[in-house]
Structure 1
Amino acid sequence: MVGWSVEVPTVSSHIRRYAAGLILLTAATGSIDAVSYLALDRVFTGNMTGNVLFIGFALVGVAGIPFLNNVVALAGFVLGSIVSGRIVGRGHTRLLPRRSVWTLVTGALIIAGLAAVWAVLGELDDRGLLIVTALLAIVMGAQVSAVKPIGNSDITTIVVTNTLANLARDSRLGGGRGEKWVQRLLAVVAMGGGAALGAALIGWMSGAAALAGGGVLYVAGVLMLSLTSRAERRAESRVGV
């Protein structure tokens, strides 16, 4: 029909918005890992590389490493990723399926609940530390599988080693053309910035407050991904009409 058109957001705009959501989740991981390491007895709930190293150190007798806590975090992360992978499934035609969104929303609710209970209790005993560690690790593992359909290998939300390597390798100094350098750099900065925020909130207030701060970043990331997914579905339905 002459004079009638529908403005449809481009695929590239959706990709950029998904990247923004992943960067927010990366910042949340940095903040939550600051909480788990500084307030939950030297353990990571998002970055499993650190836990694997700590477990290795403990196995050869290095003192001062909470072996059980690191094993619990590693097991919780794997469990969360397995369950989330089953829920989300594979072979999705859209970048982010609804099951992924609901998995992430559930994770946000768990983080909020843990922060609230921790604030009420004030301090956690050894059993409490293990429970919070396990649940946070499950959320972090579930998050990874939930965002997997987006297919962004540069922003994994839990670790920036590969992102940093790609940033350096593909830079002009490394002989590349500098592609994707903005989102890669932002992911690295987000992880460090989130960690700094978490550490600052622990020092100024408490571990519970820092976890709540990480939860805010997590919710912001989930909202960005959810709204982008909804906009993408609407765009596809308009094209179909």
Structure 2
Amino acid sequence: MPIMDAVRPLARDVRATVLPDPADRHGPLPPVMLALTVVTGLVDSFSYLTLGHVFVANMTGNVVFSGFALAGAAGFSLAASLAALAAFAAGALLGGRTAHRRRAHRGRVLHLALVLETVLVLAAYAVARYQAPLHAAGTRYPLIALLGLAMGIQNATARALAVPDLTTTVLTMTITGLAADSRAAGGPGGKSGRRALSVLAMFAGALVGTFAVRHGDPSLPLLLATVLLVGCTLNAFTLTRSDASWTDPL
């Protein structure tokens, strides 16, 4: 049946992403990158909803928000957007240096980056949990700095690891590929399952983070992100001991 013919490759792709073949070029990395995509959704839901229309992971939004603020649109802060851009760039620089120094083993690149990111997000959670109000400059800007640094490290690491269609933050090209490479568009339809999972992971993080902010403690998304990061870090520690082919630099 045509429907089953379309579903089977999608299901295989989803399974290969969630439960990857150890012999694959990217080994056990895909599910870790999916978890980090959920972290992005959690962290950006916190920053946008509690820190005042600013993202700490999706920098395209901050560039646009800067234009809004300069044009006088209400509810947008040029200072906050620029602070997030600067913190993210600093984190990307740190993440890039880490990746280049440990590039001989991709598992060690991932582990060290996750240690740094976990510490930063945990620190942000402590600030958000015990400092109030969150919109006060003395709380808002330290949170933007901590989370921007963490997300910059994550993005630089994802770039260095280069797992296809799992950038952990930017979904524009992922969604473009999902549509443009589909069989409906005359394309091969490959990797549609992985791309859909990436979109769903970001959506899930944002959804859970928003519910947590609106119906629980505003700092709860950062606690959930920290728990996920701790799990990823512990898993990555086991990967540092691997000598499989996936650990070799690309």
TM-score class normalised by the smaller sequence: 0.7 to 0.9
Partner of 1:71 in structure 2? 82
**What SS does the corresponding residue of 1:127 show, helix, strand or coil?**
helix
How is 1:83-94 mapped onto 2 (pairs within 5 angstroms)? 83-89=94-100, 92-94=103-105
Contact 2:125 2:222 (8 Å CA) reproduced: yes
Partners of 2:236 and 2:184 in 1: CA distance: 33
1:120-172 per-residue CA deviation (whole Å, 9 max, x = no partner) reads: 23433222101101110011001111232321241111121111111111111
2:124 is matched with which residue: 98, 114, 121? 114
Amino acid at match of 2:23: V
Which digits, 9 at most, give the CA deviation of each residue in 1:147-200, with x for residues without a partner? Answer: 323212411111211111111111111211221111111000000110001001
Q: Shift in Å at residue 58 of structure 1? A: 1.5
Secondary structure of the structure 1 residue equivalent to 2:185: coil
Corresponding position of 1:11: 23
Structure 2 residue aligned with 1:98: 108
Letter in 1 for 2:147: L
CA deviation map 1:76-122 (0-9, x unaligned): 1011101221222179344x152441122121022112212321234
Give the alignment partner of residue 171 of structure 1, picking from 168, 182, 200.
Answer: 182
Q: Do the aligned residues in 2 keep the contact of 1:115 with 1:211 (CA within 8 Å)? A: yes
Partners of 1:46 and 1:197 in 2: CA distance: 17
1:125-144 alignment runs, 5 A limit? 125-144=136-155
Deviation at 1:16, TM superposition (A): 5.4
TM-score, structure 1 as length reference: 0.85
> 3-state SS of the aligned residue for 1:114?
helix
Q: For structure 1, list consecutive stretches of 5 or more residues without a partner in the other structure.
A: 1-8, 237-241
Distance 2:109 2:27 in 1: 21
Q: Deviations over 1:203-235 (max 9, x none)?
A: 1212211211122233334444444x33632x4
Which amino acid in the other structure matches residue 230 of structure 1?
T
Seq. identity, %: 33
Structure 1 residues 158 and 197: CA distance shift in structure 2, 3 A: same
**Given the superposition, is the C-alpha separation of residues 117 and 81 from structure 1 closer, same or farther in structure 2, using an over 3 Å criterion?**
same
Distance 1:182 1:223 in 2: 27
> Tell me, which stretches of 5 or more residues in structure 2 are unaligned?
1-20, 246-250
CA contact (8 A) 1:21 1:220 kept: no
Change (3 A) 1:147 1:223: farther
**Is residue 132–residue 139 contact of structure 2 (8 Å, CA) maintained in 1?**
no
Summarize the alignment of residues 197-208 of structure 1 with structure 2, pairs less than 5 Å apart.
197-208=208-219
Structure 1 distance, partners of 2:127, 2:103, is: 37
Q: Separation in 1 of the partners of 2:144 and 2:58?
A: 13
For this pair of structures, how many residues does the alignment match? Answer: 224
Corresponding residue of 1:162: 173
SS in 2 for 1:41: coil
Q: Paired residue for 1:230? A: 240
**Which one has more relative contact order, counting CA pairs under 8 Å at least 6 apart?**
1
* 1:104 counterpart letter in structure 2: L
Check conservation: 1:21, 1:222, Cα contact below 8 A. Answer: no
